[in-house]
Amino acid sequence: MKNEQAAPLMELRDVKTFFKVPGGTLKAVNGVSLTIREGETIGLVGESGCGKSTLGKTILRLIRPAGGQVLFGGRDIWSFRRAERKAYTRQVQMIFQDPYACLDPLSVIGDTVAEGMDIHRLNADRQQRGREILRLLNDVGLNETHASRFPHEFSGGQRQRVGIARALSLQPRLIVCDEPISALDVSIQAQVVNLLKRLQREMGMAYLFITHDLSMVRQISDRIAVMYLGSIVEIADSEDIYLSNRHPYTKALLSAIPIADPAVERTRERIVLSGDVPSPVNLPKGCAFAGRCPNACDKCREAAPVLREIAPGHQVACHMV
């Protein structure tokens, strides 16, 4: 888990990722600034379509941003030359949402796990390659018999473990986890989260954990960033987000989490947001959340709030806080 004195591993500065669509420009990521430290886990949460996965793909150089900077080791990743780009792919990896769609159905699992190592020529010979495949499979709870099987022979949880093993094969410093448990049964989700936490303790990598599951993200994250329509509206330590949240959107999200105790659940007040989510192609003037916010004032409809610190490590983008 995180060391608060750790050096920044990656820094996002006012990152914007736009797409041309019929009718205008879709602002998927609209000015995100965020720092990821060595060895920490940042949970990135929000509704579907808010830009979480697009931000993750921008970090991996899969999508070029329209503006801003993604700094790794103090340098903009889009300024890297060819050899530096290849080195970057070793240090930043991704675990995808669909554990079946991201595996080659015609390749055995051993070759899938070793693909990155083969590209970067990390193994001196086939014996060393075979030993490394078995070590990675053992690390994620699989065994040597699985190396010769095909993806269709595995359950969803096992396929996701293969995806994790493939991401670990290059010993990265940062892994972008894009909804890594959403396609899994609830009984398997906790196993995968516990596996990720154990591997982080042993290897020290950082995670950007993208999810819409607020109940699960609390278990793995050091800090949580809440995203709405392409912008971060609140970011704080995990416990502060749950116990001392300040943004009205964060409050509404947390009020939707079911509580297992029926007595407590009956007494809770659910915050139901009125209005519709604005189109990211035609964002309103001022705060994008103003049309759904119960506390909105005239200033909210005229000027967009900036993310500002209200307590050590706790930032909120809201005029009313």
**What is the average pLDDT across 223-229?**
96
Q: Any residues with CB less than 8 A from the CB of 91 and at least 6 apart, and which?
A: 72, 170, 172, 173, 174
Q: Using one digit for the tens of pLDDT, what is the confidence trace for 115-158?
A: 999 999 888 789 999 999 999 999 898 999 999 999 999 988 89
Q: What are phi and psi of 295, to 5 degrees?
A: -110, 10
Helix 186-203, helix 156-168: angle, nearest 10? 20
Helix or strand (DSSP H, E) at 300: helix 298-302
CA–CA distances in Å: residue 191 to residues 176, 209, 211, 216: 18, 16, 16, 12
Confidence of residue 192 (pLDDT cuts 50, 70, 90): confident
**Separation between Cα atoms, residue 242 and residue 100, nearest integer Å:** 33
**What is the average pLDDT across 263-279?**
76
**What is the average pLDDT across 278-285?**
90
Q: What is the per-residue pLDDT for 79?
A: 93
pTM of this prediction?
0.91
Mean pLDDT, rounded, of the chain: 90
188 alpha carbon, distance to own chain's centre: 19
Q: What is the per-residue pLDDT for 80?
A: 94
Nearest to 27 by CA among 62, 61, 74, 68: 68
- Tell which wins on pLDDT, 107 or 3: 107
Residue pointed to by tokens 């995808």: 96
**What is the average pLDDT across 89-114?**
91
Instruction: Give the sheet arrangement for strand 67-72, strand by strand.
Output: 24-37, 8-21, 67-72, 75-76
Confidence of residue 6 (pLDDT cuts 50, 70, 90): low
Architecture of the domain delimited by 8-316: 3-Layer(aba) Sandwich (3.40)
Q: Any residues with CB less than 8 A from the CB of 135 and at least 6 apart, and which?
A: none
Q: What is the per-residue pLDDT for 294?
A: 87
**What is the average pLDDT across 100-125?**
90
Q: How far apart are the first and last CA of the chain?
A: 30
Q: Using one digit for the tens of pLDDT, what is the confidence trace for 25-66?
A: 999 999 999 999 999 999 999 988 899 999 999 999 999 999
Q: What is the per-residue pLDDT for 260?
A: 65
- Whether 42 and 4 have beta carbons less than 8 Å apart is answered as no
Q: Using one digit for the tens of pLDDT, what is the confidence trace for 66-94?
A: 999 999 989 999 999 999 999 999 999 99
Task: Name the token pair of 161.
Answer: 């473990």
162 alpha carbon, distance to own chain's centre: 19
Residue 3 has pLDDT above 60, yes or no: no
**What is the average pLDDT across 10-25?**
95
Q: What is the per-residue pLDDT for 178?
A: 92
CA–CA distances in Å: residue 249 to residues 71, 155, 227, 257, 259: 29, 36, 9, 13, 19
